[in-house]
A and B are shown apart, each in its own frame.
Chain A
């Protein structure tokens, strides 16, 4: 077998993985790897220049993704992936910046940054793995835990309301919003492809089983079962009114692409506005400002 053939035999995902860091820390049956596969597949399909994309994670099981991807990659602090990515994007506008992190990281401790980045239409792709709990720390209740689900800090069941993330992000100003389950591999891939090609704030929520904690505590079976369950319980409704997308415990999951619109990004708006106000004196800001 010549060298080229060997290369084509490699799993395409290896191209973007730090194989020198394998094996990864995720539990067998965890859904996070599935979402990473979709991400890798999106990059492959787009023939994306892997030198021109950076990935930023916060902290959590999902937060480990940045550490396993062979891209310019940053494992930051809990909740701060989005503002870190904001600085990175503004400093280097020709780089595509992807935030890949967990529900707790992005919508709990980092919730303020989420809405503000959406409001500014910051040109970022945010992939949020929603496993309905704080997994890394042992399965505590999160802002996304459905009512009545059990969590290690809600041992009698959760009585708080859960966030409906597509609704929040749309209301805050995101220009692309989708939700899938991890088993919608092709759909997730397609959404990531669309988001990569979009200028603006894109938010993709992926419902993903946490087998070890959320599933076990709630007696929901193993990873594959739960992955399949989420898939079966889902109903595709593109363009659904995001107000209707609340998630109930083991209930129906409305998935699809809900928002896909055009709006000037932060930098587009800044350049346009300052040029019109200051005229020629304004130093247009962009890719050449190295």
Chain B
């Protein structure tokens, strides 16, 4: 993995007061994103607006596409043209992107998609929050594959995790999602942007060998194939069809197994390196509160109150939701009495926790259908109930 420092042109070093949507754009620009294709949708639009305003000074392209089908398709093209690329959307637009997210996975195209989640299904709650696209982020396109999804809990993390998203996407050649939500997207807070030389970036894994020897899908020793871009004389082919090392379609069960297992294993086998968790007071905890995104912020209040009543509560914030931190949760499941899992949905990621812990401990879902964050009282009551 080759690393480099951020290009100062894109880095707005300093201490700012900005919302999560803007911070997504700044994170992208700092990470070297020089192509943004998007389509307006509440509550994500400000990210596109910010990009359109900033990109002329940085040396890149912003294009407002005709729809989200076009946005995501254009991103994949831009990446094969050699750029780092991102887009932003929310529920309905995310749904429209699904088919080509599969294409990005199949072509092993690194790119970043931010989803500022709102309540669904359908048009749902355009201006109000939700965390209801978490399962869709994981497997919303057809077929089997794995992606990476991060979830920031603040505008600062929108910035930080967007950079991390770019680094992960380049490392594993996979689409990476920044799954934020309306609350954080529109929340104004302090965002500290470090100097460019303090921002470490993962460079694309460029192929440097002889032109006639290039095989687009031949795995390197780390399991990830090398990449090239158009115009460099490789005259390569890639397709959404099941393909062999040459990138040529090969439509049989054997090639399918090789191709699909690779898409899955490159993420699963590297889960330990990818997963990023923040834990507090884990050691003697009897109750573990698991959460991600805005819900981690909301949980803090409930956890503090629970501690006052004498319950030993630890917390785990999933900065990485996908791949799911199975190993760590299995470890903890043998130690705690219960896992309490609030999410602003009917209970999505909690299903994974249930699956992983089996009967080692109780798992308590604290659902919320969206429109607002949890009342901390509801999480507190769940903790108290679980501790009984």
**In the complex, B85 has a CB within 8 A of chain A:** yes
Which residue of A72, A74, A283 contacts B231 across the interface (Cβ within 8 Å)? A72
A67-B78 contact given A72-B230, A77-B100, A95-B231, CB 8 Å threshold:
no
- Across the interface, B69 reaches (CB within 8 A) one of A51, A73, A83, namely A83
Q: Which of B71, B81, B249 contacts A89 (CB 8 A)?
A: B81
Across the interface, B76 reaches (CB within 8 A) one of A50, A67, A87, A283, namely A87
Instruction: Decide if A91 touches B59 in the complex (CB within 8 Å).
Output: no
**Minimum CB–CB distance for A184 against chain B, Å:** 28
| A68 (CB) vs chain B CBs: closest residue | B237
Q: Which of A37-45, A141-149, A223-231, A274-282 contacts B (4 or more CB under 8 A)?
A: A274-282
Whether, in the assembled complex, B260 has its beta carbon less than 8 Å from a beta carbon of chain A, the answer is no
* CB pair A80 B69 closer than 8 Å: yes
**A113 & B66 in contact (Cβ 8 Å cutoff):** yes
A 122-166 to B, binary, CB cutoff 8 A, 1 in contact else 0: 000000000000000000000000000000000000000000000
Please state if A278 and B73 are interface contacts (CB–CB under 8 Å). no
Most A-side CB within 10 Å, residue of B35, B81, B103: B81
Cβ contact within 8 Å between A79 and B229: no
Bound CA span A88–B238, Å: 14
- Give the bracket for the number of chain B residues in contact with chain A: 35 or more
Q: A283 to B82, alpha carbons, bound, how many Å?
A: 18
Whether a CB of chain B sits under 8 angstroms from the CB of A199 is: no
Proximity bits, B59-85, A CB within 8 Å = 1, else 0? 111010111011101111111111101
* B55–chain A nearest beta-carbon distance, Å: 9
Contacts A83-B69, A282-B56 given; indicate if A67 touches B103 (C-beta within 8 A). Answer: no
CB distance from A42 to the nearest CB of B (A): 17
Q: Is B241 close to A, CB under 8 A?
A: yes
In B21-70, which residues have CB < 8 Å from any A CB? 34-35, 37, 56-61, 63, 65-67, 69-70
Cβ of B99 within 8 Å of any chain A Cβ, yes or no, is yes
Known: A74-B239, A77-B240, A283-B56. A88 touches B67 (CB 8 A): no
Q: Which of B57, B71, B78 contacts A282 (CB 8 A)?
A: B57
Say whether B57 contacts A283, CB under 8 Å.
Answer: yes
Inter-chain CA distance A289–B32, complex, in Å, is 12
Complexed CA–CA distance, A285 and B100 (Å)? 27
Q: Which residue of A lies closest to B237 (CB)?
A: A73
Distance A274 CA – B79 CA, assembled complex (angstroms): 24
**B248: nearest chain-A partner, CB-CB:** A21
Chain A residue with the shortest CB-CB distance to B67: A112
A178 within 8 A of B: no
Residues of B with C-beta under 8 A to A73: 235-238
Q: Mark B88-119, 1 if CB is under 8 A from A, else 0.
A: 00000000000110010000000000000000
Within 8 A of B (CB), among A181-197: none
> Is residue A290 within 8 Å, beta carbon to beta carbon, of the partner chain?
yes
Establish whether residues B248 and A67, one from each chain, have CB atoms under 8 Å apart when the complex forms: yes
A interface SS class: helix
Say what secondary structure dominates the interface of chain B: mixed
Kindly identify which residue among A72, A79, A86 contacts B63, using a CB–CB cutoff of 8 Å.
A86
Do A87 and B249 form a contact, CB below 8 Å, given A92-B229, A274-B56? Answer: no
- CB pair B235 A72 closer than 8 Å: yes
Residues of B within 8 A of A94 (CB): 231
Q: How far is the CA of A267 from the CA of B35 in the complex (A)?
A: 13
Asked whether A50 lies within 8 Å of B248 as measured between CB atoms, the reply is no
A92 to B81, CA, bound (A): 5
Closest to A120 in B: B63
Within the assembled complex, what's the spacing in Å between the Cα atoms of A278 and B81?
27
User: Judging by beta carbons under 8 Å apart, are B59 and A289 in contact?
Assistant: yes
Are A75 and B241 also in contact (CB < 8 A) when A80-B69, A83-B74 are?
Answer: yes
Contacts of A89 in B (CB 8 A): 77, 81
Give CA–CA (A83, B68) in the complex, Å.
10
**A91:B81 contact, CB within 8 angstroms:** yes
Q: Is the CB of A51 within 8 A of B233?
A: yes
* C-alpha gap A92/B70 in the complex (Å): 18
Question: Which residues on the A side are within 8 Å of B58 (C-beta)?
Answer: 283
Please indicate the chain A residues that have their CB under 8 angstroms from the CB of B238 in the complex. 73-75
**CB <8 Å contact, A270 and B231:** no
Contact in complex: B240, A90 (CB < 8 Å): no
Chain B residues near A72 (CB-CB < 8 A): 80, 230-231, 234-236
**Cβ of B232: which chain A residues have Cβ within 8 Å of it?**
51
Within 8 A of A (CB), among B231-275: 231-241, 248-249
Contact A87 B85 (CB under 8 A): yes
- A51 nearest CB neighbor, chain B only: B233
Q: Give the interface centre of A21, A54, A92 by most chain B CB atoms within 10 Å.
A: A92
A88 contacts B57, CB within 8 Å? no
- For the complex, what is the distance from the CA of A151 to the CA of B249, rounded to whole Å? 29
Taking the closest CB of chain B, its distance from the CB of A166, in whole angstroms, is 21
A245 on the B face (CB < 8 A): no
Known: A66-B237, A283-B58, A285-B60. A95 touches B69 (CB 8 A): no
Residue in A75, A80, A285 whose CB lies within 8 Å of B59 = A285
Tell yes or no: A56 within 8 A of B by CB: yes
Measured in the bound complex, the distance between the Cα atoms of B247 and A18 in whole Å is 12
Instruction: Enumerate chain B residues within 8 angstroms of A84, measured Cβ to Cβ.
Output: 73-74, 76-77
Q: Which residue of B lies closest to A94 (CB)?
A: B231
Whether A90 lies near B59 (C-beta < 8 A) is no
Please tell me if the beta carbons of A79 and B77 are within 8 angstroms of each other in the complex.
no
Interface residues of chain B, those whose CB is within 8 Å of chain A, are 9, 34-35, 37, 56-61, 63, 65-67, 69-71, 73-83, 85, 99-100, 103, 229-241, 248-249
Other A-B pairs, 10, CB within 8 Å; known A75-B240, A85-B77: A70-B235, A74-B238, A75-B239, A76-B76, A77-B99, A80-B103, A83-B69, A84-B74, A87-B81, A282-B56
A-B contact pairs, 8 of them (CB 8 A): A72-B234, A77-B73, A80-B73, A83-B73, A87-B74, A90-B81, A91-B79, A116-B66
Which 6 A/B pairs are nearest by Cβ-Cβ distance?
A: A91-B81, A87-B77, A87-B74, A87-B78, A88-B77, A75-B239
